[in-house]
Chain A
Amino acid sequence: MTDGLLDRSTCANLADTALRKARLAAVDYADIRIGTNQSELLFAREDKLKAVNTATETGVGVRVLVNGSWGFAGSNMVSDTEIGRLVDAAVATARATAVIQKRPIAIEDLPSYQAEWAMPVGVEPFSVPTDVKADHLLAINDAAMKAGADYCAATFQFVREQKFFASTRGSEICQTRVRSYPFFRATAVDRDTGRFVTRDSLAAARGAGWDYVERCDLVDEASRAGAEVREKLHAKPVEPGAYDVVIDPTNLFLTIHETIGHSTELDRALGWEADFAGTSFLTPDKLDTLQFGAPMMTVIGERSQDEGLASVAYDDDGVRTAGREFPVIENGVFKNYQMAMGQAQLIGRDGSNGCAYCASPADFPIQRMPNISLQPNPEACSLDDLIGGVERGIYINGAGSWSIDQQRDNFQFSGQLFYEIRNGKLGPMLRDVAYQGRTVPFWNSLDGLGDRSTYFLGGTFTCGKGQPMQPAPVSHGAVPGRFRGVTILNTERKA
């Protein structure tokens, strides 16, 4: 690490001390992560910059496997003394846990690596002066309000995550990732009726730098959003019922995240998340057999996507991920779970496919999503083509309120903008729309996908999972999809 609080040789020396001490304690395996999360948040409402917060958070975590029990200890203080204490604490925790270790933890053999990797970034966001970022935020709000919004709040979030990993297998891996999340929310109020509505930005969080924020052209989007939120205030309430829907990738990415991303996590299927995040309707007997969706549907898990929030060359178990994409769903059939170390053998597979992540080096690594993306239609198909195939339907744009059951089956998602489709053409704006369904029937109702030219990389900055809760960033590539006979609700309720 060249630009953080810790350099690589310091990390290597600290790690060496920790791993030697762990070996002396006769552990079966040990690893250590040391790193820094540098972050920045700017927040403006209307014409005022309300906050500029920066943070540099260091962390270290030691994990040991002793007689089939994990022990973990983490801290924000990075020093030889503290790391020595952490090794002792991790070993003590593993031994204390033994009394309830009915099934010993077993981990597969993995190759060791000496590697350094940095996410390619155009303009490093932390190199851009505060006033430049602040002016950009204020310009977004100004554009939205000039176009019709009564209020607008905008935020920029930037993170640079640097992690050093070392294990008793001999790995030493140093990686740097950067991510940026520009966001705004325009609000319109009708003082006569007391009604108010919002319209959130459609730009995604990305594994990218300041140049990405500039490319988003949020000032232009805010101009459109200001007019759209005013129009939304007086849009036609949707009639509930069954509709054909065309879902824009700015919305569909989140549906992919909730219905496919989370249902294909092996730790859920194994019951390990039962107390909080939940299990999965996708039990291992459905591997290679369940027709999860229409045959045109292929979904890939990978960590090499350009600007992917989960793109990284090695996961937090030290498993090489670069260039190792795997089908989650192939031609509609469920093919692979996401797996971290210590899971694959439980379902008769060879080994981890590189899906471990910890939010901070001081957190226990758990199974988390790689980038999970719906593949484009190889045949030419535009958004207009999809809309053209709908007699009576709705076009849904942008992610809104979302909710899904703990086994990832019954879902209900709203959006930002909704338009009527009549006889293959977009009609007037609708409001108060949500679509509700069940994962497998929904994906089997898919009958049209956009081609490569319609591809959009969406993503979420902070997907929560685990106890204690850990946030994780993840991207989802998507194209617009057409779904038949989807249940549409009207979400307005008179108080």
Chain B
Amino acid sequence: MLLSREEVERITSRRLAASRADGCIVHVSGSDKVNLRFARNSATSNGARSAVGVTITSQFGQRSGSATVNGLDEDALDAAQRRSEEIARKAPPDPEQMPPPSPQSYASNAAYDTDTAQLETARLAEAAQTAIAAAEAGGVDAAGYAEAGGRFRAVANSAGLFAYERDSIADFTVTARRKDGSWSGWAGGSEHRFDALDPEQIARDAVAKAAHDATPLDLEPGKYTVLLEPSAAGELLRYLMWALDARAVDEGRSWLSSAAGQSKIGQQLLDPSVTITSDPADPLAPSPTFDREGLPHQATVWVEDGVVKTLACSRYWAQRTGRDARPAPAALTMAGGWTSLQDMIRATARGILVTRVWYTNMLDPQSLLLTGLTRDGNFLIENGEIVGPVRNFRFNESLLSMLSNIEAIGPSERIHGGDLHGAPVAVPALLVNNFTFSSRSAGI
């Protein structure tokens, strides 16, 4: 269910007026989405989903409790509010609890498109039809997913803060597989406007990656130059964004903590070409305009020229340490370079192009050592040309090493996947040397 700012204000005003607590915070969110799945060139499942939820948090001094309900039934909301107050009264005090923040100013959000928010399943079926036709023409099978819709979220509190924003989403992904299961290719896109997606191009890219007759080369694991396409790079980069918390650094449990209680902030930890920002006004990946507390997301340079510049900091930790409070990054834009993917391939004597990575997980938070596997489109590059498919690998690689061994950077682009809890991500393709593939994967 998509509620307007005025409709939400009516709900939050009633809840704030009905509060018996010292402090009250009301979150309202909802969405209307449609989705469609297909596999082996035929429809499998689908769905239209309408959701709305209200969370009421009550505070008595340093005690707090929250209750969430779906729907907008006044009796249910009343009951939830009383429940949150009852919990808060019984909860042990938290001396770190902060009162609700005062009213804030926000950037505007231009990431909403009415047509996308109200898209019908038939439009998704058209996109899927395009992919299936491309797969049939290429002699392969297509599986994929299309989703579109609109969503809103809002927060209001007893200190007078009110924040509301809405956006629309459109996703389309295609995995093409050879009919004998011997090779696969993937492509996908995410946009705020469904019309900005190009299902035909996405399908062509996936099919082109899958439609190889050559048996995949079976290379030895080891250190390789890799050309990470943006989706692969973005999936890995999000681990960096989750590890930028000031309190964790101060407490000695961060990759940015160092001996004797010192930190590595300000040191040249990454290649000078690495600059990472988030910004509600970013044209490629606009961040949300406020966080769950209602604090504004502002244009932020997290990493500049390879140096970590900014950390997220809760209001409590900011007060205690004399910093400014700053919400955790809710979007990610890595600054792009000017080298096209084709030029990076031409510049590579021997390397592996990686389309997508899968099942990544942290092995060592101290060095940001990650593991995961390549998937759906590994190709050997030799003497500046793509030679053919290469079997997938598992990698065990430190994000710090990866971001210190950059040879070239492509233009930054909005990617599908790698998202930070649903917020957009824009990253470039990265040419990286000495990337560690630790074992073979037979998975296709």
Contacts and interface: CB of A to CB of B under 8 A. Distances in A.
Partners in one complex: yes
Interface of A: 5, 48-59, 61, 69-78, 86, 89-90, 92-93, 96-97, 99-103, 105, 129-131, 134-135, 138, 150-151, 187, 189, 191-196, 270-276, 278-279, 281, 283, 362-364, 366, 401-410, 412, 414, 432, 434, 436, 438, 467-468, 487, 489, 491-495
30 contacts: A52-B64, A53-B65, A56-B67, A56-B68, A72-B46, A76-B52, A76-B53, A90-B48, A97-B46, A99-B125, A99-B126, A99-B129, A130-B90, A189-B257, A191-B259, A270-B40, A271-B143, A271-B177, A278-B375, A366-B45, A403-B360, A409-B441, A410-B440, A410-B441, A434-B363, A436-B394, A438-B442, A468-B33, A489-B438, A495-B367
B120 to A, nearest CB: 7
Contacts of A77: 1, 50, 52, 70-72
B364 A491 contact: yes
Contacts of B67: 53-56
Given A51-B64, A495-B398, A401 B121 contact: no
B40 A493 contact: no
Contacts of A74: 47-50
Contacts of B442: 281, 405, 407, 409-410, 438
Given A99-B129, A135-B92, A432 B364 contact: yes
Contacts, number: 297
Contacts of A406: 358-359, 373, 375, 443
Given A72-B45, A76-B51, 13 more contacts: A52-B88, A54-B83, A54-B87, A56-B68, A61-B47, A93-B46, A105-B43, A196-B257, A274-B39, A366-B45, A405-B394, A410-B443, A438-B442
Interface string B370-383: 01110100000000
Nearest to B440: A410
Interface in B232-254: 251-253
Interface string B382-415: 0000000000101010101100000000000000
Contacts of B255: 495
B107 interface: no
Contact of B141 (A48, A71, A271): A271
Contact of A271 (B39, B53, B69): B39
Secondary structure call for the A interface = mixed
B66 A54 contact: yes
A52 B48 contact: no
B333 interface: no
A257 B122 CA distance: 37
A362 B49 contact: yes
Nearest to B399: A495
A131 to B, nearest CB: 5
A328 B368 CA distance: 37
B4 interface: no
A71 B44 CA distance: 10
B366 A195 contact: yes
Number of chain B interface residues as a range = 35 or more
A406 B366 CA distance: 27
Contacts of B68: 53-57
Contact of A196 (B94, B122, B253, B440): B253
B51 A362 contact: yes
Interface in B311-369: 358-369
A401 B70 contact: no
Contact of B361 (A272, A401, A438, A494): A401
Contact of B43 (A48, A50, A97): A97
Contacts of A279: 177, 181, 444
Nearest to B40: A271
A468 B132 contact: no
B252 A101 contact: no
A71 B46 contact: yes
B76 interface: yes
Given A70-B46, A495-B255, A274 B125 contact: no
A399 to B, nearest CB: 11
B39 A100 contact: no
Given A274-B39, A276-B145, A410-B373, A404 B359 contact: yes
B439 interface: yes
A362 B364 CA distance: 38
B16 interface: no
A490 to B, nearest CB: 10
Given A189-B251, A492-B367, A92 B44 contact: no
B438 A436 contact: yes
B96 to A, nearest CB: 6
A404 B49 CA distance: 31
Contacts of B396: 412, 489, 491, 493
A72 B47 contact: yes
Contact of A436 (B141, B253, B439): B439
B258 A70 contact: no
Enumerate the 7 nearest inter-chain pairs by beta-carbon distance, A residue then B residue, closest first.
A405-B443, A76-B70, A55-B68, A274-B143, A102-B42, A407-B443, A410-B441
Nearest to B144: A275
Contacts of A151: 251, 253
